[in-house]
Amino acid sequence: MVREIITLFAGQCGVQIANSFWEQIAVEHEISLDGISYAENDESHAPTIMFKEKLDGSYTPRCCLFDTDPIPIESTRSGRLKNLLDPEYSVMGKEGGANCYAYGRYVTGKTIVVDVIRKVRNLLEQCNSCCNMTHVCSTNGGTGAGMMTDVISTRAEHKHFDTHSYKVYPSPTMGTMPCHYYNTILHMNSMSDLCDANIVIDNETLYHEAEQLIKNRKDDITFADINAHISLILSGCTQQNRYPGGADLKHLITNLIPFAGADYLHVYLAGCNEKFEYGSELSHIAPLTNHLFDGNSASCVMNLDEGEYMCAAILYRGENISPRDIFECLYKVKADKRLKFASWAPCPTKSSLIQIKPVIAPTSRFQLNSMSVVKVANHTSMKSVIQRYLTNFDALYKKKSFVHWYKDMEDQQFLEARHQIELVQKVYESTVSYQ
Is residue 419 in some structural domain?
Answer: yes
Q: Considering its fold, how many domains does the chain have in total?
A: 3
Main-chain dihedrals φ then ψ at residue 124, nearest 5 degrees:
-65, -40
Cα end-to-end distance, the chain, whole Å: 42
Strands (E), 263-356: 264-272, 309-318, 349-354
Assess whether 138 and 240 both reside in one domain. Answer: yes
pLDDT of residue 41: 63
Assess whether 321 and 362 both reside in one domain. Answer: yes
Q: State the average pLDDT for the chain.
A: 89
What percent of the chain has a predicted confidence (pLDDT) above 90?
A: 64
Q: Which domain holds residue 276?
A: 264-381
Question: How many residues appear in the chain?
Answer: 435
| CA dist., res. 97 & res. 145, Å (int) | 9
Q: Is 78 exposed, middle or buried (0-12, 13-18, 19+ CB in 10 A)?
A: exposed
Cα–Cα distances (Å) from 352 to 5, 249, 315, 326, in that order, read 19, 11, 5, 9
pLDDT of residue 407: 87
pLDDT of residue 14: 97
The mean pLDDT of 190-215, rounded to a whole number, is: 89
pLDDT band at 337 (very low <50, low <70, confident <90, very high): confident
Is residue 94 in some structural domain?
Answer: yes
Assess whether 217 and 120 both reside in one domain. Answer: yes
- pLDDT tens, position by position, 113-135: 999 999 999 999 999 989 899 99
- Residues near 258 by beta carbon (within 8 Å), at least 6 away in sequence: 310, 311, 345, 378, 431
Assess whether 237 and 154 both reside in one domain. Answer: yes
Q: Which of helix, strand or coil describes residue 250?
A: helix
Residue 409 pLDDT > 60, yes or no?
yes
The more confident residue out of 42 and 315 is: 315
pLDDT of residue 156: 67
- pLDDT tens, position by position, 276-289: 443 344 457 888 89
Assess whether 96 and 72 both reside in one domain. Answer: yes
pLDDT band at 343 (very low <50, low <70, confident <90, very high): confident
pLDDT band at 248 (very low <50, low <70, confident <90, very high): confident
Assess whether 292 and 172 both reside in one domain. Answer: no
The CATH number given to whatever domain includes residue 298 is 3.30.1330.20
pLDDT of residue 101: 95
| CA dist., res. 192 & res. 188, Å (int) | 6
pLDDT of residue 245: 73
Is residue 414 in some structural domain?
Answer: yes
The CATH number given to whatever domain includes residue 405 is 1.10.287
Is residue 254 in some structural domain?
Answer: no
Is residue 285 in some structural domain?
Answer: yes
CB 362 within 8 A of CB 27: yes
What percent of the chain has a predicted confidence (pLDDT) above 70?
A: 93
Residue 273 pLDDT > 70, yes or no?
no
CB 283 within 8 A of CB 322: no
pLDDT band at 1 (very low <50, low <70, confident <90, very high): low
Residue 365 pLDDT > 90, yes or no?
no
The mean pLDDT of 258-275, rounded to a whole number, is: 85
Main-chain dihedrals φ then ψ at residue 27, nearest 5 degrees:
-65, -40
pTM for the model: 0.94
- pLDDT tens, position by position, 140-180: 999 999 999 999 987 767 767 889 999 999 998 887 778 89
Assess whether 111 and 162 both reside in one domain. Answer: yes
- pLDDT tens, position by position, 39-90: 876 555 668 999 999 999 999 999 999 999 999 999 999 999 999 999 999 9
| CA dist., res. 350 & res. 371, Å (int) | 18
pLDDT of residue 370: 83
CB 140 within 8 A of CB 186: no
Assess whether 43 and 158 both reside in one domain. Answer: yes
